[in-house]
Amino acid sequence: MFYYIIDLLGTVAFTISGVMVAMNKRLDAFGIFIIGFVTALGGGTVRDILLGVKPVTWLINSTYMYVVIGTVLFAVFFRSKLKYLNISLFLFDTIGIGLYTVVGVEKGIAAGLHPIMCIALGTISACFGGVLRDILCNEIPVIFRKEIYATACILGGISYFVLTLFNIKSNIVFAIPIIVVILVRLLAVKYKLQLPSVYGKEE
């Protein structure tokens, strides 16, 4: 129940991030909705497709669709006020990717996959909504360019398997990686950390 609420708050944060990008690109109402939807649910959809889950989760559980529709309406009507929500949205988003990472890792384990593949699935769940958003908006995905975002998910996923090595109980194994993701991302933003680009920063 607790995790379900986090999941839905993450969905809200992701949807709003999509809506803001779509409004900046001056898309119409349908475009804004689709970009919000894809940002929120695209990562889990790619994960489900790679795993062969049939059909994908959001087709079966209508709650996600309602949350996205409601959030898009909210974000469009209160678009001039969204800047006051910046910190809340950043927190929801960060907690959201933490949760999605762990959910993705656990789906990989349930499918009997190697830990590296589970971490990959967790990272895809958390990050590929944003990748699809940027592709649909004709941009090179921002997480490929400058944010410590996927890295936080990968470290969270690794911590999951480190904890299971020590036979830690399941609730903690679920919660700690989420905290790892959040901490890494907060530190990265606070200290403006970036992954090195091979040719150095663009002038």
Interface residue with a second copy among 50, 162, 175, 176 (CB under 8 A) is 50
Let me know: does 11 contact 74? Beta carbons within 8 Å.
no
**CB atoms near residue 136 (< 10 Å):** 19
Asked whether position 82 contacts a second copy by CB under 8 A, the answer is: no
Q: Based on CB atoms, which residue is closest to a second copy, 24 or 171? A: 24
Distance separating alpha carbons of residues 115 and 164, to the nearest angstrom:
11
Q: Based on CB atoms, which residue is closest to a second copy, 145 or 164? A: 145
Let me know: does 13 contact 92? Beta carbons within 8 Å.
yes
* DSSP at 11: H
Question: Residue length, the chain?
Answer: 203
Asked whether position 49 contacts a second copy by CB under 8 A, the answer is: yes
Distance separating alpha carbons of residues 50 and 172, to the nearest angstrom:
28
Q: Based on CB atoms, which residue is closest to a second copy, 103 or 121? A: 121
Region from 97-105, 129-137, 160-168, 183-191 binding a second copy, contact rule CB under 8 A: 129-137
Distance separating alpha carbons of residues 49 and 89, to the nearest angstrom:
28
Q: Tell me, residue by residue from 133 to 152, as one string, x for binding to a second copy by CB under 8 A and - for no binding.
A: --xxxxxxx-xxxx---xx-
| 30, 36, 45, 97 from 33: Cα distances, Å | 5, 5, 17, 21
Asked whether position 110 contacts a second copy by CB under 8 A, the answer is: no
Q: Based on CB atoms, which residue is closest to a second copy, 79 or 186? A: 79
Asked whether position 85 contacts a second copy by CB under 8 A, the answer is: no
Distance separating alpha carbons of residues 138 and 134, to the nearest angstrom:
6
Region from 1-9, 20-28, 93-101, 167-175 binding a second copy, contact rule CB under 8 A: 20-28
Distance separating alpha carbons of residues 101 and 72, to the nearest angstrom:
24
Question: Minimum Å distance from CB 84 to a second copy?
Answer: 18
- Name the residues that contact a second copy, by CB under 8 A: 22-23, 25-32, 34-35, 45, 49-56, 58-60, 62, 65, 76, 79, 108, 111, 113-114, 116-117, 120-121, 131, 135-141, 143-146, 150-151, 194-199, 202
